[in-house]
Every structure is written in C-alpha cells, then in structure tokens.
C-alpha cells in the first residue's frame, strides 16, 4: 500500500449517535484509523458528536469537532481546516452518506480534498442496489432474482415477476433500516412506502427471499494495487431469515467442503474487485 506524500492533514468522519450495544465497531475502527494516521505523521481532524467514544478523546485526534455529522457542518469544517484527504469508511452509514452528498455538491473538487481508501464511485456501486446488481452480473457472481424500484407500483410489478415472498432492501442504509420481508402485496406496499422514505435516493431492491439458506461470510481486505487477503471466514449457526446481528457466528467455517470453500473464496475476491473497495 503506497504512502501518499501529499497528505499532511486528514479529516475522519465518525458515526454520530449510535444505539447502545450496537455499532461499537465504528468507534474501534475509527480509533485505529486515527492511531495509524498519527503514526504516519499525518495530522488528524475528527467530526463526531458522540462523547461516549474512545475516538473523541483528545489523545486520539489532533482536533475534535463535537458537531453533528451532516453535509453542511462537515463542509464548513473542511473550509476551516483545509484537510488534504478525507476518510469515509470509519463512521458507518452516517459517514458514507455524508461523504457521498459532499461529492455530489462538488465540495472535494472545490476544496482540493482527496477521498482516501474506497472511492465515491465504489461507494455508489455498493450502496445503489441497481449498480451493485450490475457489478455482480459483470463479475459473474450468482445473485438472487431482483429488480430496483422507485415507487410502490414498480415494487408490486417486480414482486409479481419474482414471486412471493420477497425481501425489500433499502439503498444507502445500514443495518436493514426500512427493509423487510413481504409475503403478499399488502405487506409489500407497506414496507416499500416506509423504505422509500428511509432511502437517500428513494430506491429499493425487490429481491427473491432466500429463507433457510446457509449463511457464510468472508472478510476480505484489498489495497490500491489490487492485492486481496481473506482475513476470516464465518459461518452463521442459524440460516437466512434471522438477522446476522441476532444469531451466533463461528469462525472459521465448519461445514464447507474444500471445493465449496474455494468457490466462495474466489467469488468474494471477484466481488471486492468488481466494486473497487479499498480497505
């Protein structure tokens, strides 16, 4: 991974307020990010209003703004602090959405700020359900039947083609916010109406519901030179249909044959390369 010699000050966006017993990984990863930047001699500026975090301690960042993580406030901080780079991957969905909105406003080009790590284009591919579907098809990664929808009518038409039950996935939303499983058109209409209000670009994905399938996770890291490492493999004890956060997970996987393991390993690397994730 190259070191960018032109980066002397970096802005890190935190996750803002979080639910107790949830999202501690954002504080951990953000704290590690600040430590790594300091070790490289890069000055750090953190935006995060949550005082109940390790990262908002003054010993972690050179400057801390206990301000809401919103596009307008972060833009004003960029104008004041003049950072060379910004990191969006350590504050969860809050940081990602703010970062995308700043890009669409042209703030980075106007202020000369470089997005470090995963690019805005890659974020759009992973968060926009239609772009992600197209990326998986181009990478020849099998995916469930699905269609993007921007209205309840489009969602109902998509579900009729796919067949019930279907799962509604909200774009630009972490943790399943606004999403749900529909077994008929009445349930689908209620879920989609709610989900469209949650989505930053008013988009949902209507997808075949793969209930009771085995759920396997691969943790993959990729750098700018396209090197990838499988950090860990995890197997969910319960099948699909129960949220990952509500069931025990074991690592490494326990029930895959070597052939199955290699198939999923190759697929996970094609996924991360096709969307362009760095980190």
pLDDT tens, residue by residue, 84-94? 999 999 998 88
CATH number of the domain at 158, please.
3.30.1490.20
pLDDT tens-digit profile of 174-191? 666 778 999 999 999 999
Position 19 pLDDT exceeds 80:
no
With respect to residue 279, please indicate whether it lies within any of the assigned structural domains.
no
Q: Are residues 101 and 135 in the same domain?
A: no
pLDDT of residue 86: 97
Q: Are residues 133 and 119 in the same domain?
A: no
Which residues lie closer than 8 Å to 244 by C-beta, 6 or more apart? 215, 217, 236
Whole-number average pLDDT of the chain: 91
Choose the final residue of a domain: 108, 125, 142.
125
Q: Are residues 153 and 138 in the same domain?
A: yes
pLDDT of residue 21: 63
Q: Please, are residues 203 and 148 in contact by the beta-carbon 8 Å criterion?
A: yes
With respect to residue 3, please indicate whether it lies within any of the assigned structural domains.
no
With respect to residue 1, please indicate whether it lies within any of the assigned structural domains.
no
Give the bridge partners for 71, in sequence order.
none
| Structural domain total, the chain | 3
Choose the final residue of a domain: 69, 98, 125.
125
pLDDT of residue 2: 61
pLDDT of residue 47: 96
pLDDT of residue 178: 78
With respect to residue 4, please indicate whether it lies within any of the assigned structural domains.
no
Q: Are residues 224 and 199 in the same domain?
A: no
With respect to residue 2, please indicate whether it lies within any of the assigned structural domains.
no
With respect to residue 112, please indicate whether it lies within any of the assigned structural domains.
yes
Q: How confident is the model at residue 3 (pLDDT cuts 50, 70, 90)?
A: confident
Q: Phi/psi zone of residue 267: left (φ > 0), alpha (ψ -120 to 50 degrees), beta?
A: alpha
H helix and E strand count, the chain? 9, 12
Average pLDDT of the residues in 50-71: 91
- Residue 80 has which token pair? 């004041």
Q: Are residues 39 and 97 in the same domain?
A: yes
pLDDT of residue 23: 66
- Residue 233 has which token pair? 């493999």
Q: Are residues 112 and 14 in the same domain?
A: yes
Average pLDDT of the residues in 75-79: 97
pLDDT tens-digit profile of 87-144? 999 998 889 999 999 999 999 999 999 999 999 999 999 888 889 989 999 999 999 9
- Residue 190 has which token pair? 């209620």
pLDDT of residue 20: 67
Q: Are residues 134 and 175 in the same domain?
A: yes
Q: Are residues 13 and 64 in the same domain?
A: yes
Q: Are residues 160 and 177 in the same domain?
A: yes
Of 91-95, 207-211, 228-232, give the lowest mean pLDDT range: 91-95
pLDDT of residue 22: 64
% of the chain with per-residue pLDDT over 90: 71
With respect to residue 173, please indicate whether it lies within any of the assigned structural domains.
yes
With respect to residue 88, please indicate whether it lies within any of the assigned structural domains.
yes
Choose the final residue of a domain: 102, 125, 148.
125
Backbone φ, ψ for residue 203 (5° rounding): -130, 140
pLDDT tens-digit profile of 138-185? 999 999 999 989 999 999 999 999 999 999 988 877 666 778 999 999
Position 1 pLDDT exceeds 60:
no
Q: Which of 180, 236, 239 is CA-nearest to residue 205?
A: 180
Which residues lie closer than 8 Å to 86 by C-beta, 6 or more apart? 10, 11, 12, 13, 78, 99, 108, 113, 114, 115, 116
CATH number of the domain at 30, please.
3.40.50.20
Q: Are residues 96 and 163 in the same domain?
A: no
Range of the domain at 267: 216-274
Q: Are residues 264 and 157 in the same domain?
A: no
Average pLDDT of the residues in 223-248: 91
pLDDT of residue 100: 93
């Amino acid at each position: 991974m190259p070191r960018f010699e032109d980066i002397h000050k970096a802005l890190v966006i935190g996750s803002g307020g979080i639910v107790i017993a949830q999202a501690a990984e954002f504080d951990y990863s953000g704290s590690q990010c600040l430590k790594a930047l300091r070790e490289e001699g890069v000055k750090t500026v953190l935006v995060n209003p949550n005082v109940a975090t390790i990262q908002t301690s003054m010993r972690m960042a050179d400057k801390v703004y206990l301000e809401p993580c919103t596009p307008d406030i972060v833009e004003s901080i960029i104008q004041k602090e003049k950072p060379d780079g910004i990191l969006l991957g350590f504050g969860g969905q809050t940081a990602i959405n703010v970062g995308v909105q700043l890009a669409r406003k042209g703030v980075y080009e106007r202020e000369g700020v470089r997005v470090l790590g995963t690019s805005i284009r890659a974020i759009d591919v992973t968060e926009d359900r239609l772009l992600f579907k197209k990326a998986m098809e181009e990478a020849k990664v099998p995916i469930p039947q699905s269609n993007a929808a921007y209205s309840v009518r489009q969602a109902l038409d998509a579900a009729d083609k796919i067949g019930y039950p279907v799962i509604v996935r909200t774009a630009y939303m972490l943790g399943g916010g606004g999403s749900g499983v529909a077994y008929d058109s009445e349930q689908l209409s209620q879920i989609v109406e709610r989900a469209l209000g949650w989505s930053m670009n008013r988009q949902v994905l209507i997808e075949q519901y793969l209930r009771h399938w085995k759920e396997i996770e691969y943790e993959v890291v990729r750098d700018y030179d396209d090197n990838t490492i499988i950090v860990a493999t995890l197997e969910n004890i319960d099948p699909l249909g129960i949220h990952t956060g509500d069931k025990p997970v074991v690592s490494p996987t326990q029930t895959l044959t070597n052939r199955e393991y290699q198939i999923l390993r190759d697929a996970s690397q094609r996924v991360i390369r096709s969307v362009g994730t760095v980190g």
